[in-house]
Structure 1
């Protein structure tokens, strides 16, 4: 992700980058540390001791808060690690009248009205953070072109640091988790992503929606239904999910050859993603995952499904 940013990020190519490691886990490989040095990446490690430390997605608001305290720049951009920059993401630049930008990629567990299956979950999430579901603005999803209540994909977003958004984001997430209400469709899987837009509204941030060129989803689960060669051709940021693992690699490279041949040539030099951690660290990670899974199970047993 970072190397692609340095190569094809345009005005963003030389921006400071911070990699955050917010909870206990296996150490960084020397290969990774050397890559950070080469790519001029700072990295920050701390142990999040939150009551929900077992949930990997809650690492995001903690990491955003850490970045907000680390940097002095006016704007901060969050990017998931499974992104590739294949062009200059100019829509991330905030105008003087904007505080926040993100992409309404697809409906997923969003809600399009009171009769929607997901409406009860959203009503609870809004209630526990002090919002009315009717106050959520309508947005049009990029994939389905469907009208839903505001719901962002959390893979990439930008905001003004002066808004102190990170603390509002974290507080909103914790309110949703503490409510112990989960979705009948997705469980607690999207708690953090649902909280992103709610936090933006709680902070009264002025917002703009990114179009799909800045968060083009590309992976094995959605390929047959959603893939469009022309949309990939115009994309600036790819959210590749599992596309660089061995089971989808050939399709991924074939599509890039047709749309972004320079990126395809570079990706071929990297090869298929694989876990290169020594066996002892893999064993430790499995043990940690087992502990976190048990803690998550206890949480889910205490929750109400809507």
Structure 2
């Protein structure tokens, strides 16, 4: 029996519209056997409508756009959008697997691993750098994680190795790409736990509320399942941190990547994606997919600041 999937993205008025369009274009072009999989785009806050141009483009790419105010309890906290839209998908879709993607991702090859081995419930990548993560006892961030576990629960004592600075920390995964079996109910649990954590007002020592949603997701996973598949390094590759990735682990051609995540975006995007990519070391600029991306920039994005036109 074949496994069905659905891609989930968040699209709000402004630059994110154009990031979403680039992501969807890349899925439809490079997604292989999954290129025609259903894609659902969400506006979940009472913000200005996306433009008619974007709406028409999404429709032309066979994307279902859902405008429903799902993030109504914490509408000023954009990171609550993810578990809110994911909960809607759990309740309203019949796909076996839900694939949540940040809009600042670009797909370059068929994402075969999102189909998940049968024994796993979730597929994710560890966070890029330790930041608010905890290496355990005596770590300055440990107190926050213990408080988080008190609220959320922690059945499985898991650790991961960060992908860039190579720290062994309590299980803490990047929320930019989350693959989950729908019947697990991860998103509804994440949403409920996030509301509890926000009400408790606990926050990491450094970074404050910015990291609360992602850390709550990690704690929720640890409370629900130990069957977590670590996606290969070709997924959710931190392109904006490429120069900090150990040279032996740098992926130097878009042809060899499944998806890049141009997070850490203020610097990376505001400098212009074309200029930012040009600043990366040991990157194959002759690859077909690198050339496709630059042609996309030339057609849709201004060269001076990397922002959409």
Give TM class, smaller chain.
0.7 to 0.9
Indicate the residue corresponding to 2:296 in structure 1.
270
Distance 1:8 1:178, change over 3 A: same
**Unpaired runs of 5+ in structure 1?**
277-306
| Kept after mapping to 2: 8 A contact 1:104/1:151 | yes
Distance 1:268 1:68, change over 3 A: same
Equivalent of residue 149 in structure 1, options 159, 170, 176? 170
SS in 2 for 1:153: coil
| Structure 1 residue ranges, 4+ long, deviating more than 6 angstroms after superposition | none
2:103 pairs with 1:78: no
Indicate the residue corresponding to 2:223 in structure 1.
202
| Kept after mapping to 1: 8 A contact 2:252/2:284 | no
Equivalent of residue 135 in structure 2, options 87, 90, 112? 112
Indicate the residue corresponding to 1:251 in structure 2.
276
Indicate the residue corresponding to 2:205 in structure 1.
184
| Kept after mapping to 2: 8 A contact 1:172/1:198 | no
- 1:80 to partner: Cα distance: 0.4
Distance 1:78 1:111, change over 3 A: same
Q: Indicate the larger mover: 3-12 or 71-80.
A: 3-12
Distance 1:261 1:172, change over 3 A: same
| Kept after mapping to 2: 8 A contact 1:105/1:212 | no
- 1:227 to partner: Cα distance: 7.5
Query: What whole-Å deviation, never above 9, does each CA across 1:150-170 have from its counterpart, x for those lacking one?
Result: 100000011111112221111
| Kept after mapping to 2: 8 A contact 1:105/1:215 | no
TM-score, structure 2 as length reference: 0.81
Query: CA–CA distance in 2 between the matches of 1:172 and 1:163?
Result: 15
**Unpaired runs of 5+ in structure 2?**
1-22
2:141 pairs with 1:103: no
Indicate the residue corresponding to 2:11 in structure 1.
none
Greater relative contact order (CA < 8 Å, ≥ 6 in sequence): 1
TM-score, structure 1 as length reference: 0.81
Q: How does 1:1-306 map to 2 (within 5 A)?
A: 1-48=23-70, 50-106=72-128, 107-131=130-154, 135-204=156-225, 206-219=227-240, 222-226=241-245, 228=247, 230-233=250-253, 234-241=256-263, 242=265, 243-252=268-277, 258=284, 261-271=287-297, 272=301, 273-274=306-307
Query: CA–CA distance in 1 between the matches of 2:170 and 2:61?
Result: 39
Tell me how many residue pairs correspond in the alignment. 272
Query: CA–CA distance in 2 between the matches of 1:191 and 1:224?
Result: 27
| Kept after mapping to 2: 8 A contact 1:213/1:236 | yes
Indicate the residue corresponding to 1:279 in structure 2.
none
| Kept after mapping to 1: 8 A contact 2:126/2:174 | yes
Query: CA–CA distance in 2 between the matches of 1:266 and 1:103?
Result: 26
Query: What whole-Å deviation, never above 9, does each CA across 1:236-281 have from its counterpart, x for those lacking one?
Result: 11001234544342231575971572222222233234265xxxxx
